[in-house]
Structure 1
Amino acid sequence: MAEDAVLPENSIPRRKTISSPYIHRLQRRHFLLFDVAPILGTVVAFGFLLVRPFGVMEFALLFSMWLITGLGVTVGYHRLFTHRTFKTEPWVASVLAVLGSMAAQGGVVSWVALHRRHHENSDREGDPHSPNLSGAGVLGALRGLAHSHFLWMRRHEYPNVVHYAPDLIKDRALMRIARLYYYWVGLGLLIPAVIGWLVSLSWTGAVSGLLWGGFVRIFVLEHIVWAINSFLHMFGTRPYESRENSHNGGVFALATLGESWHNNHHAFPESPSFGLQWYRLDPGFWLITVLESCGLAWELKRPSQARMAAKRISGTSDSVRHAA
């Protein structure tokens, strides 16, 4: 709203953020359960190698659970629900919301509200996880990286979902899924434990499945996503103009399921493709194109070549370059 706009009598501007002791208690609980506990679970998993070696089953559970929950985050939480880069059937949206919830990175409505606020204030005051607002010099950079990668989740202003996600709170099916967030996280831990027990017919297989397909998988996926918020707002390549300090990290494209084309994404947030070009690896977009070919995704908002050319920074090319 413009500063000189006239508000109706007795009206109060909607608050963009909410801060209260109750909310901060919830944030600390989530931080301990789903950010700190996976670190401890990963330590236990390596200790459990003395009981049961890491084998094909452990690798299969770690990889498959990482892949489906990671796609739930990048395709569901990020590209569909936050930026509305494509449309899909309600049941597909529900599946993506459940898989994203199993990643233990927050309920879908809260995640979307936080990310929309990040785009609104990226690398400026109000950005919940910028690495560039903690002072100058090496110490400022280190403080910023620690804050943006991990520590910001302990306590922060909570974005008002009525302001940032009104479209989601009107979706009854999605809100039913959001209310069951903790159950979906639990399901994401139960599935690999049950599979581990069925495959091995032993308690050691169940525990190993829980550790590698559950806690280690959450740990790995979380730190991959957090590195985009932290390191890719300080290091990488910048082929496109964008008002914040976002960068691409193409070498990590497969590990991040396409999310590491971060400068591309900030330059064209409406695009379902973060790689933008066919030769840039973007598994999240590959899934969307599969859905499109099956008639389950439509209205993909691809930016035009003219728009991409207009935003390209002079002197850059499609080849990988080091940031100046």
Structure 2
Amino acid sequence: MTPSPDLIDDAPDASSSDSTGAPLPSATLGGEQKRSLEQLALLLFITVPFLALVAAVPLAWGWGVSWLDLGLMVFFYYLGCHGITIGFHRYFTHGSFKAKRPLRIALAVAGSMAVEGPLVRWVADHRKHHKFSDAEGDPHSPWRFGETLPALMKGLWWAHIAWMFDEEQTSQEKYAPDLVNDPAIRAISRQFIFWTMLSLALPALIGGLATMSWWGAFTGFFWGSLVRVALLHHVTWSINSICHAVGKRPFKSRDKSGNVWWLAVLSCGESWHNLHHADPTSARHGVMRGQVDSSARLIRWFEQLGWAHDVRWPSKERIASRRKPQAADAA
């Protein structure tokens, strides 16, 4: 079971080692600190897809977009999105369920194809976020600079993108020792560049083969790779920024996490963020009537197929215990 971030204390960082006592290799290519090459790669992975996203509207207006390209964009978007929400977040970070080994590996690969960074680093950062949520030590709180409007505007930019370029990094050995000590997961995390290249190449390959043309390969790459990655990036980052600045807060949490309904479908249920921070290990985030949570639905199917077990579904009593008094009265 993945340890809860609440159980991670402030003890000095412990170095990971194998059964012989030898230190384990870093779980990411650049280790704990982001080097200049990684910073350059990060800038490239952010700016190029974003420029494609900006160009998408005039290009679609002028040239149109084929059903094949739309299909590639939607399929790879939700493959990566669920890889992040179910895999990186609910499973690897919070241990919302247990998975058989093939599903564990599949979730690690699917999340890596979202192009949001190496698995172990992603999990370590997110566990640290929960430990210090919206307080000093949180890697990406929008309230970092204060509560005035100018400070919040600066904080939203920080929480959305800028924090990723910060040199101060989270200790993977301290916040994700379970993943660092798993050879298969450590290998997938270190192979992030490979999974990124595969994620970007597959839509182009499928588009080219389906149309038997280089133009089909180009448009498949443009819509299914670049535009898809940019859209998924900004939806995911909006959970860090928007969902910690606005939204309804019917549940008790020690931070400013909120539910933002209009992000629910695009975020695969992650934008029901207030419940998540009130009950981090819950396998379902959208627990109220009408709250769409496709990640929870897929976890249910995994459970029914026998691929997942010990799922932490929230009971009515558990949900009620986390409601604010006024919200419980209104219900």
**TM-score, with structure 1 as normaliser:** 0.88
| Alignment match, 2:194 | 183
| Alignment map for 1:234-249 (pairs within 5 Å) | 234-249=245-260
In 1, the alpha carbon distance for the partners of 2:325 and 2:75 equals: 41
Pairing partner for 1:65 from 76, 79, 90: 76
| Alignment map for 1:215-234 (pairs within 5 Å) | 215-234=226-245
Q: CA deviation at 1:249?
A: 1.2
In 2, the alpha carbon distance for the partners of 1:91 and 1:278 equals: 33
| Alignment match, 2:222 | 211
| Alignment match, 1:13 | 12
Write the deviation string for residues 185-234 of structure 1: whole angstroms up to 9, x where unpaired: 11011110011101111111101101110010000001001111101111
Cα-Cα RMSD = 2.4
In 2, the alpha carbon distance for the partners of 1:285 and 1:39 equals: 29
Pairing partner for 2:324 from 289, 313, 316: 313
- When residues 48 and 161 of structure 1 are mapped into structure 2, their CA distance, relative to the original with a 3 A threshold, is same
In 1, the alpha carbon distance for the partners of 2:156 and 2:137 equals: 16
| Alignment match, 2:283 | 272
- When residues 250 and 50 of structure 1 are mapped into structure 2, their CA distance, relative to the original with a 3 A threshold, is closer
| Alignment match, 1:97 | 108
| Alignment match, 1:9 | none
- 1:134 to 2:133 alignment: no
Pairing partner for 2:98 from 87, 111, 119: 87
**TM-score, with structure 2 as normaliser:** 0.86
| Alignment match, 2:304 | 293
Given residue 115 of structure 1, which amino acid in structure 2 is its aligned partner? Answer: H
In 1, the alpha carbon distance for the partners of 2:53 and 2:82 equals: 22
In 1, the alpha carbon distance for the partners of 2:308 and 2:110 equals: 17
In 1, the alpha carbon distance for the partners of 2:201 and 2:34 equals: 28
| Alignment match, 1:5 | none
- 1:259 to 2:270 alignment: yes
The more displaced of 154-163 and 19-28 is 19-28
- 1:145 to 2:144 alignment: no
Q: CA deviation at 1:21?
A: 11
In 2, the alpha carbon distance for the partners of 1:23 and 1:15 equals: 20
In 2, the alpha carbon distance for the partners of 1:88 and 1:35 equals: 31
Given residue 98 of structure 1, which amino acid in structure 2 is its aligned partner? Answer: V
Given residue 207 of structure 1, which amino acid in structure 2 is its aligned partner? Answer: F
| Alignment map for 1:18-57 (pairs within 5 Å) | 23-43=34-54, 45=56, 53-57=64-68
| Alignment match, 1:6 | none
**Which consecutive residues of structure 2, in runs of 5 or more, have no partner in the other structure?**
1-10, 16-29
Given residue 134 of structure 2, which amino acid in structure 1 is its aligned partner? Answer: D
- When residues 278 and 301 of structure 1 are mapped into structure 2, their CA distance, relative to the original with a 3 A threshold, is farther
Q: What SS class does the counterpart of residue 242 from structure 1 fall into?
A: coil
- When residues 278 and 27 of structure 1 are mapped into structure 2, their CA distance, relative to the original with a 3 A threshold, is farther
Q: What SS class does the counterpart of residue 84 from structure 1 fall into?
A: coil
The more displaced of 21-30 and 95-104 is 21-30
Q: What SS class does the counterpart of residue 241 from structure 2 fall into?
A: helix
CA contact (8 A) 2:235 2:263 kept: no
- When residues 41 and 279 of structure 1 are mapped into structure 2, their CA distance, relative to the original with a 3 A threshold, is closer
CA contact (8 A) 2:283 2:314 kept: no
The more displaced of 38-47 and 195-204 is 38-47
Equivalent residue pairs, number: 307
In 1, the alpha carbon distance for the partners of 2:198 and 2:326 equals: 49
The more displaced of 19-28 and 70-79 is 19-28
